[in-house]
């Protein structure tokens, strides 16, 4: 696929994968992007997953024929992008690998060699001239591995952004970018908001006309939209107005309270109420919605002296991703031990800038008339 006259997409689409990184459901497959710049010098940018090495090497040959690449630029050492470094270096024995010095330590771990005789280590602001095209490197540590770099090609104003601005799905998946990019971001990168903010500040000084990520489509229109979403996500800002309710329910009584709260919120004019059963959902989508909205409600039962396992897992997913800047309401159900609200707050104590509602709901087995009034009070507080 031609991106410009001399920049080509040589990556592959994986239509058979069901779980990315062994945990994220990908109904529309996954793209492993790689790029090639054909100039006086030829640079290949990143490799692909191990299973697609033959197809990827064929793509290189299709673009450059009998010519041999001069450089392999490695932006990120995760195996879905780096697995074929050794095959490339064996096939093209005159080529140099270009990367951050930390990447060469990982190459030694993965391949048993750090290519000491055939490598070029680059850091912040270093450049690699290919002829008309010049790559300038931008360090991006912990977005989302420590060795990550990005590169900016000045003539075409192209940012090669490593995993930044990536999404789940193949490059030809017919779907909105934001939904799967949001799920990808908060699932994989979400913990490192401060580091993403640092890179966005660097990007603000560049004249960018297109973004080439290692996952998903090339972005070349309305870049302010994508950059704006990344700024919101990485600063833990609120993207959408509304309330997200996350619940577990054993015999249906907690769910009944949730549905009553949903009804109260909608009747009060809440623009959106998103309700998720944590026992039956895609956990990554639940995490995505928790970060999308500024107000959430956690509803669960006391279970074995603690809280229901799916709620425990969900809160863990939030806190390990630095969940913050949110308002949280609670619904607890305890037939003989009402400790769920206390336990949920304890799990959230490490998170910063959280506001807990005062009007919470405390069910004893089934929803009572008193609980209905509590639900109205919680809805009213959330609508302030």
pLDDT digits (tens, 9 = 90+) for 9-68: 999 999 999 999 999 999 999 999 999 999 999 999 999 999 999 999 999 999 999 999
Would you say 117 and 95 are in contact if contact means Cβ atoms under 8 Å apart? no
- Say if residues 24 and 53 touch (Cβ distance below 8 Å): no
What is the DSSP track for 254-306?
A: HHHHHHHHHHHHHHTT-S-EEEEETTTS-HHHHHHHHHHEEEEEEEEEEETTE
Please state, in angstroms and rounded to a whole number, the distance separating the CA atoms of residues 88 and 221. 33
How far the first Cα of the chain sits from its last, in Å, is 51
CB 121: neighbour CB atoms within 10 A? Answer: 13
| Beta-bridge mates of residue 160 | 151, 212
* Residues 271-297, mean pLDDT to the nearest whole number: 97
For residue 56, how many other CB atoms are within 10 A of its CB?
22
In 3-state terms, what secondary structure has residue 91?
A: helix
pLDDT score of 202: 95
Rounded distance, CA 25 to CA 169, Å? 10
Q: Which of 368, 289, 369, 302 is nearest to 330 (CA)?
A: 302
Q: Which residues contact 109 (CB under 8 A, 6 or more apart)?
A: none
Q: Which residue has the tokens 């509803």?
A: 299
Distance CA 258, CA 272 (A): 14
Rounded to an integer, the average pLDDT of 1-16 is 96
Short-list 312, 259, 263, 318, CA closest to 289: 318
pLDDT tens string 227-266: 999 999 999 999 999 999 999 999 999 999 999 999 999 9
pLDDT grade for 305, boundaries at 50, 70 and 90: confident
C-alpha distances in Å from residue 302, one per residue of 75, 334, 339: 47, 5, 6
pLDDT more than 90, % of the chain: 97
Tell me: pLDDT of 170 over 90.
Answer: yes
Domain 240-382 falls in which CATH fold?
A: Rossmann fold (3.40.50)
C-alpha–C-alpha distance, residues 363 and 338, integer Å: 8
CA-nearest of 243, 280, 269 to 382 is: 243
| The pLDDT of residue 160 | 98
Residue 32 has a pLDDT of 98
**Mean pLDDT value of segment 266-273:** 97
CB 42 within 8 A of CB 50: no
Predicted local confidence at residue 110, as pLDDT: 96
- pLDDT > 70: percent of the chain: 100
Q: pTM above 0.85?
A: yes
Give the model's pLDDT for residue 59. 98
Domain residues of the chain, as ranges?
Answer: 7-234, 240-382
C-alpha distances out from residue 211 to 122, 126, 164, 203, Å:
21, 20, 9, 11
pLDDT band at 184 (very low <50, low <70, confident <90, very high): very high
Q: Which two tokens stand for residue 360?
A: 């919470």
Kindly report the average pLDDT of the chain as a whole number. Answer: 96
Q: Which class would CATH give 7-234?
A: alpha beta
Residue carrying the six token digits 């995760």: 78
Q: Which of the four pLDDT bands, split at 50, 70 and 90, describes residue 269?
A: very high
DSSP 161: -
Instruction: Give the 3-state secondary structure of 341-372.
Output: HHHHHHHHCCCCCEEECCCCEEEECECCHHHH
3-state DSSP assignment of residue 84: coil
Beta-bridge mates of residue 363: 333
């Amino acid at each position: 696929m031609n991106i410009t006259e001399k920049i080509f997409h040589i990556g592959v689409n994986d239509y058979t994968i069901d779980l990315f990184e062994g945990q994220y459901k990908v109904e529309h497959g996954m793209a492993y992007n790689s790029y090639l710049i054909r100039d006086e010098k030829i640079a290949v940018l990143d490799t692909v997953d191990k299973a697609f090495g033959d197809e990827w090497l064929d793509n290189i040959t299709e673009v450059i024929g009998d010519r041999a690449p001069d450089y392999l630029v490695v932006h990120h050492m995760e195996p879905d992008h780096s697995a074929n470094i050794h095959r490339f270096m064996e096939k093209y024995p005159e080529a140099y690998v270009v990367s951050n010095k930390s990447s060469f330590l990982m190459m030694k771990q993965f391949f048993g060699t750090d290519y000491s005789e055939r490598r070029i280590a680059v850091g912040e602001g270093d450049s690699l001239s290919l002829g008309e095209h010049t790559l300038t490197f931008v360090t991006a540590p912990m977005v989302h591995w420590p060795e990550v770099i990005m590169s900016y090609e000045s003539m075409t104003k192209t940012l090669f952004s490593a995993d930044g601005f990536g999404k789940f799905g193949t490059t030809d998946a017919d779907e909105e970018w934001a939904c799967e990019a949001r799920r990808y971001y908060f699932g994989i990168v979400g913990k490192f908001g401060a580091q993403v903010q640092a890179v966005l500040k660097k990007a603000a000084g560049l004249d960018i006309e297109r973004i080439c990520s290692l996952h998903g489509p090339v972005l070349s229109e309305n870049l302010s939209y994508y950059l704006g979403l990344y700024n919101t996500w990485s600063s833990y800002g609120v993207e959408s107005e509304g309330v997200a309710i996350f619940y577990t329910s054993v015999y249906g009584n907690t769910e009944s309270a949730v549905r009553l709260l949903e009804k109260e919120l909608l009747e009060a004019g809440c623009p959106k109420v998103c309700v998720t059963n944590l026992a039956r959902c895609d956990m990554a989508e639940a995490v995505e919605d928790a970060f999308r909205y500024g107000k959430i409600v956690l509803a669960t039962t006391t279970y074995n002296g603690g809280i229901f396992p799916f709620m425990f897992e969900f809160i863990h997913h939030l806190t390990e991703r630095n969940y913050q800047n949110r308002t949280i309401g609670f619904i607890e159900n305890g037939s003989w031990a009402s400790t769920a609200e206390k336990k949920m707050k304890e799990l959230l104590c490490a998170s910063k800038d959280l506001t807990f509602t005062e009007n919470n709901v405390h069910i004893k087995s089934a929803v009572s008339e008193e609980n209905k009034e509590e639900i109205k009070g919680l809805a009213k507080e959330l609508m302030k």
